Amino acid sequence: MGKVIVVASGKGGTGKTTSVGAISSCLAALGHKTLCIDCDAGLRNLDIIIGMTEYTVTDFFDVLQGRTELLEACAEHPRIKNLYFLPAPAFHGPEEIDADDMAGLTAQIREQFDYCLIDAPAGIGPGFRLAAQGADMALIVTVGDMSSMRDGQRVAEELRSLGVRELRLIVNRVSGRNFRKLSTTVDDVIDAIGARLVGLVEEDEEVFLASNSETPLILYENKRAALQFLQIARRLTGERIPLVKRWSRA
């Protein structure tokens, strides 16, 4: 039985979509059959992050409407074995999609894939609530400022109200110069959100270059951010990969 993970953030600019693409690619590279879904209807761009803009014909709305089967709608990545992609509809908003139907889709996904990462729209609007339907776990992506992390607390509250109890925290785009300053802030947010820290990802120019070239980050071998996302993926599979010593308690 597979695991469905919704990836959320309180605001845009945290690198949430990049995180979805990177972690999905890493899980696939580790040998797990992995599906990533763009749930940002009308504003989809996960296909750019993972280099799949030319490979999709149908979207998850087509599956919900019964126009195609799940596996037929999922596009297989041309370069990364075990990685599949299902885009959001370009012309149908979340208000047109029934929450129970979405939960039914996640049930199908568990039968067909080892892992599924759903890229939720930023914020806590209807699209976010739709993306969380039927999820087993949530990854909350924040950056190293108090505003973003406080938004993450609100996201955590909404996720719990939707029945998602297993929460994990990623602090993204951490720069070396403010790394030490983050310690108290991150500890406070871990306590406030009630989520275990699953990884910190440093600011890395290669992330920007990979996105612009539509190249999955995992294909940038031996790059700092790529290796850190790989560690996150391994932790999600249950491997005991040490965190930075300062936050080893999480």
Q: Which residue's structure tokens are 């972690």?
A: 23
Inter-axis angle of helices 182-193 and 146-161, nearest 10 = 10
Mean pLDDT of 29-58: 89
pLDDT at 46 over 90: yes
Residues 6+ apart with CB under 8 A from 76: 55, 83, 84
Whether 194 has a binding-site annotation, put simply, is: no
pLDDT at res. 193 = 77
Question: 7 φ, ψ to 5°?
Answer: -115, 120
Q: What is the pLDDT of residue 101?
A: 92
123 is in an annotated binding site: no
The model carries a pTM of: 0.91
* 144 labeled binding residue: no
Check whether 132 has a pLDDT greater than 70: yes
Q: Is 17 annotated to bind ligand?
A: yes
List all residues 6 or more positions away from 161 whose beta carbon is below 8 Å from its beta carbon. Answer: none
Do the annotations mark residue 66 as ligand-binding?
Answer: no
Q: What is the mean pLDDT of the segment spanning 207-215?
A: 70
Residue ranges of alpha helices (H) inside the chain are 16-29, 46-49, 60-64, 70-73, 99-112, 126-131, 146-161, 182-193, 205-212, 224-236
Q: Any binding-site annotation on 185?
A: no
Q: Which domains does the chain have, with CATH numbers?
A: 3-245 (3.40.50.300)
Q: Percent of the chain at pLDDT above 90? A: 58
pLDDT at res. 134 = 92
The verdict on whether residue 176 carries a ligand-binding annotation is: no
* Cβ neighbours around 117 below 10 Å, total: 26
CA distance 148 to 184: 15
